[in-house]
Amino acid sequence: MVSAVSSDNSADRAALIHREVIQLAVLVFIAVGAFFVTKAVAANNRNLSMRNADEWYQRGEQLAEAGRLDQAVDAFRRAMVRNRTNRTYLLALSRALAQKRDYESARTVLLTVRASEPEDAEVNLELARVSAARQDVTEALRFFRDALYAPWRPDQGERRRAIRLELIRFLLTHDQASRAQAELVAASVDSPDDVAHHLELADLFNQAGDGHNALAHFQRVLRLAPENVAALLGAGRAAFDLGEYPLARRYLREVPSDVDAAREIREVADQVVSRDPIAGRIGARERHRRLEANLTYLQQRLVDCNAQHGQSVSGGRYALQNDLQSFRERLRRSPTLDQDTIEAGVDLIDRTERDAIASCGSSTAVDRALVLIAKQHGAASQ
């Protein structure tokens, strides 16, 4: 640097520069000292800011609990401004906004964080919930998946499983049963082998329409706790839905008699098992008897139905009655039945039940059992 003393002599200039180097060194020393002082002051200020942020957060929580959501949002925002790196504040803010049904703002807040932390499971989960509330199924699914496949620590398996179950419930409520089944299979793999988890999975499999897996999980529960009523009932229902009526009856009979939910289905299962003419491991006589009994019951049902409603007999109904009568006579004539005759009988049962239900409405356990029998054996009218 050229000194203020205007000198053309380079020797003087050299001396001056030497002096300036010393001055610069002093300046650097001052700057370093100032740096540490400023750093200490700033750290102190940062701590104060953190404390203030926490105080605002606590207030926000209290306000949110009291239902004062506008003020809660304001408090959470103040907390966030003072400590931007704290995800708890941010998530609290987004939840408060979502509670206010201000889903757009909640989403904006969460997307801001996601921009810097795209793999944050909690943020993605909150985003998924907000998207679900906004009825944006595609986006919700994307964020649920991002949350699910975020880098989880080994000790966070339970949390991850809970998110998967939340995703499954979301899929079920949005008619995405096949996707839900796929997630359920994945959930089964990393699920702990205990009663509560198997019951939960079994219930979800049931809702997803996967009776086999539902039954398997109920059975797993029964192996762990043979007298678990929920599992007995669930297994009975699952087996019933799968057409495994003897199995269903077995489970349902184990359910205490005071459980109303089991009573009706147990009756129907009993009727199916005792009335099915095509059931395996029964003799020809029994097959004949069951068919005969079913047709007799239906003949009487049509009579009752006509009497109950005072209806004049229609052409179709008349034909059905004739068919029933002629089929019964046919049974009387031939004590042994071939397969075609039995199937024709089941088909007639099905047609008659449908007609009776259509005109007379409510049906008994026997009626429901007969419909199920026909359905199970693929009656011609199906």
- Site for other proteins, rule CB under 8 A: 1-6, 9-11, 13-14, 17, 20-21, 23-24, 27-28, 30-31, 34-35, 38-39, 41-42, 45-46, 48-49, 52, 55-56, 73, 77-78, 81, 84, 104-105, 108-109, 111-112, 115
Q: Which is nearer to other proteins, 40 or 319 (CB)?
A: 40
User: Tokens representing 250?
Assistant: 């077995």
Return the residue matching tokens 């005792």. Answer: 274
Tokens of 236: 């009975």
User: How many DSSP H helices and E strands does the chain contain?
Assistant: 17, 0
Least gap, CB of 161 to other proteins (angstroms): 31
Other CB atoms within 10 A of residue 310 CB: 6
Q: From the CB of 145, what's the least distance to other proteins, in Å?
A: 20
Cβ-based nearer residue to other proteins, 23 or 173:
23
Q: Which is nearer to other proteins, 10 or 257 (CB)?
A: 10
Distance of CA 43 to the CA centre of its chain: 47
Computed over its alpha carbons, how large is the radius of gyration of the chain?
38
Nearest approach, Cβ of residue 214 and other proteins (Å): 43
Q: State in angstroms the smallest separation of the CB of 141 from other proteins.
A: 21
8 A C-beta contact, residue 96 and residue 109: no
**In terms of Cα–Cα distance, which of 148, 218, 142, 231 is closest to 183?**
148
**Comparison of 28 and 282: residue with beta carbon closer to other proteins:** 28
- Using N-to-C axis directions, what is the helix angle for 10-65 and 87-99, rounded to 10°? 40
The residue type of 91 is L
Question: Nearer to other proteins by C-beta: 109 or 216?
Answer: 109
Residue 82 CB, shortest distance to other proteins, in Å, is 8
